[in-house]
Amino acid sequence: MAKCEICGKGVVFGHNVSHSNRKTNRTWKANIRRVKAVVNGSNKTVNVCSRCLRSGKVERA
């Protein structure tokens, strides 16, 4: 599941737009990492986006 357990960032939908202005569906997926982190004092594996890791919202185990 491409969803961050901290901030809730997930899949976003939109269009590819060609030079002739035809539109086809596409998705943008969040940069999700499975990391071992400290949650409520115990180590747990969580799905976290790279921005939450970089900003320090998650303490790695």
Size of the chain, expressed as the number of residues it contains: 61
Secondary structure of the chain as H, E, C letters = CCCCCCCCCCCEEEEEECCCCCEEEEEECCCEEEEEEEECCEEEEEEEEHHHHHHCCCCEC
Which amino acid is present at 40? N
| Domain residue extents for the chain | 12-55
pTM value is: 0.79
Number of Cα atoms under 13 Å in the Cβ half of residue 2: 9
Tell me: the pLDDT tens digits for 10-56? 999 999 999 999 999 999 999 999 999 999 999 999 999 999 999 99
